[in-house]
Chains A and B, each alone.
Chain A
């Protein structure tokens, strides 16, 4: 399967099953489009009509190049992973990551919060150290061969349970010594409680910190308010700037959510960049379609346009020496995920689970509070192996709608929580989300193509 598209002056051809990316001129683009289902003489005739400046030899050479790429397994590659996908769905899985919902409470009251202002439709609650400690033991006991284990501190607002976060991290280090395993920590915060002591700790211990900011002041303050209804932008931005200035080379993301209110979200991304942040993420809001800020199908053309604006601007800024990273445009074409990762889905419910403040287990943070997906608890273990199996079997090879999608090995079937919330089924096809995802991959690959050609040109100049 291949996918061809034109973007920002580049003609791009993706080969789904090998992962190969080709940048071609107009004639080669048309030859490839016809190659699989058109007679060669017919292709030559059509190309001579459309490109009178091209000689027959030139067109035949292009056809020979396409033959070669096909022979080399870089174009029109057949799907060789169907059997492997069955093996993956039956494999024994071990847990390698826990999202610790240390605080089911929040010091902001954001209207669009999927976690219902941090409470996940339940009572306010904070995780005790005893529960956190047991969660780490549960992770270690169920981690099997995994050497690197990940712990996310999430909420609500995890810094509201700051002392317990510190205690859990200290306990993990203790257990590293007797188990030989290694922990990585991530914390997501709204910034309200960032202070020097916290910043020092986060810089020392957290391999990644996610800072929630929606962009421009008026956009951010519209939905991200304190419990008294006051916007939080002015309070948190200086704290985020201070934190990022002290972060060094360690990973962080300033992460926003865009809604129907700011479909021109690239202006929010550029605003974040102009504030001095250079690792950015911006997510489409996930909410009840009836909400006034819910994204709508009619927003899609503008969303596509915005992603293109973003990609082009990122290339410009990079060339001018003040580039930034956008999470969804990060693609490592050389050393990206292996095929096992690409066909086993996101890991929720199998390798990744969320833990409530009282130790209940859910497939991921987005399922917390939905009792149909309560999997057990950290004291007695998994009581619903059927839920594990359901998630294990959920990937791009098990969803009929994914079969002919060129992007399936980039997304692995998408987010099960989004599917459930949008369609009522874990395996449902949330087309809106797929459309956005495909657009982002097109833009991300275009950036990679532009960067590769730029460095080729630079090398040619240097030689």
Chain B
């Protein structure tokens, strides 16, 4: 594609099948404590997904 570069991202739809293990941290536990988001967290078991 000459005019469009697509970054190498995971497809969220694929995680419907393999996600939900629940081993990740809860959102407010790391550095924020006052304004959580979820996107900047890590998956604890990406390889198993």
User: Which residues of A pack against B, CB within 8 Å?
Assistant: 17-25, 27-28, 58, 61-62, 65-66, 68-69, 73-74, 77, 80-81, 84, 94, 96-97, 99, 114, 145-148, 150, 152, 154, 184, 186, 188, 208, 210, 251, 253, 255, 257, 279, 281, 283-284, 286, 327-342, 345-348, 351-352, 364-366, 409-412, 414-415, 418, 433, 436-437, 440-441, 444, 448-449, 452-453, 456
Q: How far is the CA of A333 from the CA of B41 in the complex (A)?
A: 11
Q: How far is the CA of A68 from the CA of B4 in the complex (A)?
A: 11
Q: How far is the CA of A61 from the CA of B3 in the complex (A)?
A: 9
8 Å CB interface, B7-41 against A: 7-13, 15-16, 18-41
Q: How far is the CA of A335 from the CA of B33 in the complex (A)?
A: 23
Residues of A with C-beta under 8 A to B23: 146-148
The smallest beta-carbon distance between B5 and chain A, in angstroms, is 5
Determine if B29 and A449 form an interchain contact, defined as CB atoms under 8 angstroms apart: no
Determine if A328 and B7 form an interchain contact, defined as CB atoms under 8 angstroms apart: no
**Known contacts being A23-B7, A338-B18, is A286 close to B24, with CB within 8 Å?**
no
Determine if B26 and A347 form an interchain contact, defined as CB atoms under 8 angstroms apart: yes
Determine if A346 and B36 form an interchain contact, defined as CB atoms under 8 angstroms apart: yes
Residues of B with C-beta under 8 A to A154: 33
Which single member of B5, B25, B42 contacts A453 (CB below 8 Å)? B5
Determine if B49 and A65 form an interchain contact, defined as CB atoms under 8 angstroms apart: no
Determine if A150 and B25 form an interchain contact, defined as CB atoms under 8 angstroms apart: yes
Residues of A with C-beta under 8 A to B6: 20-22, 69, 74
Which single member of A80, A251, A283, A339 contacts B34 (CB below 8 Å)? A283
The smallest beta-carbon distance between B28 and chain A, in angstroms, is 6
Determine if A150 and B5 form an interchain contact, defined as CB atoms under 8 angstroms apart: no
Which single member of B5, B8, B26, B49 contacts A333 (CB below 8 Å)? B8
